[in-house]
């Protein structure tokens, strides 16, 4: 009996030890009906879903409803061409550079967080490729897409903040010892990632609307090479985009509403349905896909969210009283005269309203009345001033608050094209309060910008003749007078970018990239001229990042 008990005890102990040794394996959960990192990056469909999230996060930064959409306009407010319309101290609207660019402020922190989130997600996608079911060709394409997003994120970070931490691997645990890479190292990493993307992404003729392609990578390469003073490299990259047989500047009217008068090819570029290549637009290189009342489409017709350019840029024209103090306007309307339901937040500077156009004021189609609205007409039939100019005959509201009307661009509005769900009175074309978004797709990149980038590279190389030729390709389409090689300098190129690309390009990124923000704000922006400081050409590293980095040193930018 004792022997039996002894043997049983030994057997029990052995079983216990065996079970104990495999405890980790025994307790390991295998997800069967939910996603986790172990099963989320296996099939091509898994990776496409993760890439779709990168597209959504990228779009969200420029077209978001966060805090009324203020953060998306950080790239426009407080520049040489656009300012806070109401001249307030509101920090999120760059009412004052000192308060806006405080290291503890919401603006630097919001953008830092979102760009690094894109980097983190891109790194995860890249890290999971080796253990996936994808074939080599699929892996290269997915990696190219993820790396181009990473390059785009670092593009914004390096021009906003200067040298920043380079994070090129997936992080699986907290890290508190970040250090800043040099600006040159960050730019070099952008080159590395964009070069890989250019070699592995499909041609622009082979991708769906809204998807990244090889030419977007080449455009980013051209811009980054300029920052590294590699002007020959920039010219080669830009020429790949310009010379591609599937790209061309649009010079004839096209697409929806192309038969309408007044109108022109520049007007056509911004009408609903005309941004994508599927519409016949060979000029678009990359377009943000924005749909209303569709899950994931960003914009709805029952609230002001998403692409709020029309709401923010258009003035409160619809609220004007006539000189007698009576209502001069019927209300928010879907036409060029009123330009939707604007709230007067994003106003052109006097420079962008007038001086920028003086030599071609009447012939440059980009400044034509249907593209740049410069007058407003009282449209209330009950007013004694019906049919007369409110600009020439201001009422008390406009005299006391001049921000209620100013010249505005129709490129970010949808006159006569608001969805039926936001029209309150079809007979009068009156709009509901929810008619704030711009109900159309939006350009990230257009070929016209590539021409101006190559002109900048030629300028850097001292080839003024070719620089002028590229600028004139853009000006010719707009019926602006040609320039000569003696007219070319960096400020002229920045002026031409403003005329062609206002509210498409991220103006702040352009100006900080070429170290011209402070100078041009002081020259052209009356609201911010006196308080912008030299160190504002780069943003502060968010204080919370420095404080959390307890085992390393994130050196703050000078002046903050």
531: helix, strand or coil? coil
pLDDT digits (tens, 9 = 90+) for 296-345: 999 999 999 899 999 999 999 999 999 999 999 999 999 999 999 999 99
Class of domain 42-201+515-560: mainly alpha
446: helix, coil or strand? Answer: strand
Counting DSSP H helices and E strands in the chain, the numbers are 19, 10
Percent of the chain with pLDDT over 90: 91
Return the H-helix or E-strand segment holding 467: helix 464-477
Note the pTM of the prediction, 2 decimals.
0.93
Supply the pLDDT for residue 31.
57
- Give the mean model confidence (pLDDT) for residues 549-559: 97
**Using one digit for the tens of pLDDT, what is the confidence trace for 371-381?**
999 999 999 99
Helix (H) or strand (E) holding 298: strand 298-299
Q: Which residues pair with 526 in a beta bridge?
A: none
210: left (phi over 0), alpha (psi -120 to 50) or beta: left
291-292 and 298-299 beta bridge pairing:
parallel
pLDDT in tens, 397-428: 999 999 999 999 999 999 999 999 999 999 99
Q: What residues does CATH 1.25.40.390 cover in the chain?
A: 42-201+515-560
346 Ramachandran zone, left/alpha/beta (phi>0; psi -120 to 50): beta
Each residue's pLDDT tens digit, 92-133 = 999 999 999 999 999 999 999 999 999 999 999 999 999 999
Paired strand residues for 445: 286
Supply the pLDDT for residue 27.
Answer: 46
Whole-angstrom distance, CA of residue 227 vs CA of residue 231 = 9
- What pLDDT is attached to residue 18? 41
| Confidence tier at 16 by pLDDT (50, 70, 90) | very low
Name the more confident of 67 and 551: 551
Q: What is the pLDDT of residue 64?
A: 87
Which residues have CB under 8 Å from 95's CB, separation 6+? Answer: 84, 87, 88, 89, 527
Tell me if 366 sits within 8 A of 266, measured CB to CB.
Answer: yes
Using 50, 70 and 90 to split pLDDT, how confident is the model at 89? confident
Encoding tokens for residue 416? 């006569």
pLDDT in tens, 223-257: 999 999 999 999 999 999 999 999 999 999 999 99
In the prediction, which pLDDT does 36 show? 59
Q: In this model, does residue 65 exceed pLDDT 80?
A: no
Mean pLDDT computed over every residue of the chain: 93
pLDDT band at 22 (very low <50, low <70, confident <90, very high): very low
Q: pLDDT grade, residue 30 (50/70/90)?
A: low
Report, as an integer, the average pLDDT of 378-385: 98
């Amino acid at each position: 009996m004792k022997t039996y008990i002894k043997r049983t005890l030994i057997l029990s102990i052995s079983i216990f030890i065996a079970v104990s040794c495999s405890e980790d394996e025994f307790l390991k959960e295998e997800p069967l009906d939910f996603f986790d990192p172990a099963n989320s990056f296996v099939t091509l469909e898994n990776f496409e879903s993760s890439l779709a999230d990168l597209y959504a996060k990228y779009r969200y930064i420029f077209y978001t409803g966060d805090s009324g959409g203020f953060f998306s306009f950080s790239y426009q407010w407080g520049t040489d061409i656009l300012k806070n319309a109401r001249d307030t101290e509101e920090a999120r609207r760059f009412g004052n550079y000192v308060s806006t660019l405080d290291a503890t402020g919401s603006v630097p922190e919001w953008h830092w967080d979102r760009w690094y989130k894109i980097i983190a997600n891109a790194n995860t996608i890249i890290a999971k490729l080796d253990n996936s079911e994808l074939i080599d060709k699929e892996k290269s394409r997915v990696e190219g897409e993820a790396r181009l997003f990473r390059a785009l994120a670092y593009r914004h970070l390096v021009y906003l903040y200067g040298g920043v931490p380079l994070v090129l691997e997936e992080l699986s645990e907290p890290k508190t010892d970040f250090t800043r890479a040099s600006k040159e190292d960050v730019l070099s990493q952008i080159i590395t990632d964009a070069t890989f993307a250019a070699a592995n992404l499909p041609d622009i003729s082979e991708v769906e609307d809204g998807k990244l392609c090889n030419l977007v990578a080449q455009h980013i390469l051209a811009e980054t090479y300029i920052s590294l003073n590699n002007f020959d490299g920039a010219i080669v990259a830009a020429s790949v985009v310009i010379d591609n047989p599937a790209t061309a500047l649009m010079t004839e009217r096209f697409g929806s509403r192309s038969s309408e008068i007044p109108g022109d090819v520049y007007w056509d570029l911004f009408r609903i349905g005309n941004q994508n290549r599927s519409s016949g637009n060979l000029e678009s290189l990359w377009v943000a896909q924005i749909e209303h009342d569709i899950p994931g489409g960003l914009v709805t017709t029952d609230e002001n969210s998403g692409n709020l350019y029309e709401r923010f840029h258009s003035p409160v024209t619809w609220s004007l009283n006539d000189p007698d103090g009576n209502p001069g306007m019927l209300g928010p309307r879907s036409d060029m005269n009123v330009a939707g339901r604007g709230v007067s937040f994003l106003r052109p500077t006097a420079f962008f309203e007038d001086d920028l156009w003086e030599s071609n004021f009447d012939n440059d189609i980009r400044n034509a009345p249907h593209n740049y609205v410069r007058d407003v007409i009282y449209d209330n039939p009950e007013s004694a001033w019906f049919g007369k100019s409110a600009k020439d005959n201001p009422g008390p509201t406009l005299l006391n608050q001049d921000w209620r009307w100013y010249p505005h661009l129709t490129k970010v509005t949808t006159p006569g094209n608001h969805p039926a769900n936001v029209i309150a009175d079809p007979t009068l074309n009156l709009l509901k309060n929810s008619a704030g978004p711009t109900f159309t797709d939006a350009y990230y990149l257009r070929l016209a910008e590539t021409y101006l980038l190559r002109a900048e590279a030629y300028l850097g190389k001292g080839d003024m003749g070719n620089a002028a030729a590229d600028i004139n390709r853009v000006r010719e389409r707009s019926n602006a007078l040609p320039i000569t090689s003696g007219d070319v300098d960096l400020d002229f190129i920045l002026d031409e970018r403003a005329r062609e690309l206002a509210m498409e390009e991220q103006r702040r990124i352009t100006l900080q990239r070429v170290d011209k923000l402070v100078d041009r704000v002081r020259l052209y922006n009356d609201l911010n001229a006196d308080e912008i400081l030299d160190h504002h050409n780069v943003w502060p590293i968010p204080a919370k990042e420095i404080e959390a980095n307890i085992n390393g040193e994130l050196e703050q930018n000078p002046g903050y």
